[in-house]
């Protein structure tokens, strides 16, 4: 590390208050244009840097990590998910990786519930109709959707966000079940009125609304493939606020187009920012542009987490949110 102020490279524009605090604390290199940086640009900009602050739009694969200057010792990720970083390669280079957990739980759960409401009540479809000027007025049979009350919610991944989704769903009178690597404590299940389903296939067959809230790992890539999507009832809807790669988007599009599923609400995408063209052609899909943590409260709190991780690493070699490479 440098003898003067630590040098920190930030790959994307962050909230102004966070950038101001970083300027006061570090020799910071900011991305004023907020244009995603190519690998070569990151390597060049990181010359002499102690810390890089990447985001989900940066792919730190083994090749890029091998090219980073020797001075880089910390990747202080702005975000919870770190599937865009090759953790094994970082560890081999002696680079520590941190993230920003706990601060975006409620906002991501809110997006999940927003999509759960928007899809079956056809809100976006209705908005387009009104804006077009083609709406002819109310009718008893016009744009009839489905209510949430009484419907069976299946949650894949019952961590902080999954539990927050379950709490919100209770307010709509939904019946909650979940699939998780480990069963929750009995008292937590009781508080959420949630039932554990050890077998994912069994849960899917008994689910009206599916909410994906698990991390993306090699094991969860295309966890929802065509076979599993076909296990859902024909009037089911799929909500994804986790990572796009967990669903086979082409298979999802086929199921929706063929009437094997009723609808989907997506905030994340398999090849983000690109979206499967077959999905874009469907009226029964509601799209959001990765808005899960997009509140001023969350983004500032994420920035404070990044700063805490940088200072914890530099001062004590003990950042509070170190990611386990395993």
CA 263 to chain centre: 20
Active-site positions?
243, 272, 290
Q: What is the pLDDT of residue 3?
A: 54
- Structural domain boundaries in the chain: 7-103+295-316, 105-287
What residue has token string 């730190």?
A: 60
User: pLDDT below 70 — which residues of the chain?
Assistant: 1-3, 326
Alpha helices in the chain (DSSP H): 16-25, 39-45, 62-67, 87-92, 105-118, 123-132, 160-171, 186-192, 200-205, 226-229, 249-257, 277-280, 296-316
CA angle 151, 180, 197 (to 5 degrees): 50
On whether the CB atoms of residues 108 and 241 are closer than 8 A, the answer is: yes
Query: What pLDDT is stored for residue 4 in this prediction?
Result: 82
Measured in whole angstroms, the distance separating CA 325 from the mean position of its chain's CA atoms is: 19
* pLDDT the model gives residue 326: 65
pTM of the model: 0.92
CATH 1.10.10.10 assigned to 7-103+295-316: no
- Decide: 72 and 260 in contact? Cβ < 8 Å: no
pLDDT score at 161 = 97
Same topology, domains 7-103+295-316 and 105-287? Answer is yes
Q: Which two tokens stand for residue 73?
A: 């010792």
Percent of the chain topping pLDDT 90: 98
- What's residue 324's pLDDT? 81
Q: Is the dihedral angle over the CA atoms 278, 282, 285, 290 positive or is it negative?
A: positive
Q: Which long-range contacts (CB under 8 A, 24 or more apart) does 37-42 make?
A: 37/11, 39/63, 39/64, 39/67, 42/9, 42/11, 42/68
Q: Are 177 and 153 in contact (CB under 8 A)?
A: yes
DSSP string, 60-115: B-HHHHHHS-TT--EEE-SSS--TTB-HHHHHHTT-EEE---SSSHHHHHHHHHHH
Close Cβ partners of 115 (under 8 Å, ≥ 6 residues apart): 239, 241, 265, 266, 267, 286, 288
pLDDT value for 62? 97
- What pLDDT shows up at residue 1? 44
Query: Nearest 10 degrees: CA dihedral of 292, 294, 297, 300?
Result: 110
Q: Give dist(CA 36, CA 310) in Å, integer.
A: 22
Identify whether the C-beta of residue 196 lies closer than 8 Å to the C-beta of residue 183: yes
**Fold of the domain built from segment(s) 105-287:** Rossmann fold (3.40.50)
Q: Return the structure tokens found at 131.
A: 């804006």
Residue 135, SS3? coil
Q: What is the pLDDT of residue 2?
A: 43
Nearest to 56 by CA among 267, 278, 317: 267
Q: In which region does residue 272 sit, left (phi positive, over 0), alpha (psi from -120 to 50) or beta (all else)?
A: beta
């Amino acid at each position: 590390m440098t003898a003067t102020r630590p040098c920190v490279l930030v790959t994307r524009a962050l909230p102004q208050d966070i950038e101001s605090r970083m300027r006061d604390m570090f020799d910071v290199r900011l991305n004023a244009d907020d244009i995603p940086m190519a690998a070569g640009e990151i390597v060049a900009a990181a010359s002499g840097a102690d810390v890089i602050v990447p985001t989900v739009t940066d792919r730190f694969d083994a090749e890029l990590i091998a090219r980073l200057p020797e001075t880089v010792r910390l990747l202080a990720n702005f975000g919870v998910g770190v599937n865009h970083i090759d953790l094994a390669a970082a560890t081999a280079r002696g680079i520590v990786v941190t993230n920003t957990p706990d601060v975006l739980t409620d906002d991501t759960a809110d997006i999940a519930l927003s999509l759960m409401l928007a899809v079956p009540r056809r809100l976006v479809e209705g908005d387009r109709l009104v804006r077009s000027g083609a709406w002819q007025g109310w009718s008893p049979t016009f744009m009839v959707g489905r209510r949430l009350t009484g419907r069976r919610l299946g949650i894949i991944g019952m961590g902080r966000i999954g539990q927050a989704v379950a709490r919100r769903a209770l307010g709509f009178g939904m019946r909650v079940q979940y699939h998780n690597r480990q069963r929750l404590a009995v008292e937590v299940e009781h508080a959420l009125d949630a039932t554990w389903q050890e077998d994912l296939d069994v849960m899917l067959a008994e689910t009206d609304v599916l909410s994906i809230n698990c991390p993306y790992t090699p094991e969860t890539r295309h966890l929802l493939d065509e076979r599993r999507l076909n296990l859902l009832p024909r009037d089911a809807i799929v909500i994804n606020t986790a990572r796009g790669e967990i669903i086979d988007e082409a298979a999802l599009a086929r199921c929706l187009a063929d009437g094997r599923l009723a609808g989907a609400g997506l905030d994340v995408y398999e090849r983000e920012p690109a979206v499967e063209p077959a999905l874009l052609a469907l009226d029964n899909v509601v799209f959001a542009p990765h808005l899960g943590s997009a509140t001023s409260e969350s983004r500032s709190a994420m920035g404070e987490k990044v700063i805490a991780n940088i200072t914890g690493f530099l001062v004590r070699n003990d950042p509070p949110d170190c990611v386990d490479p395993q």
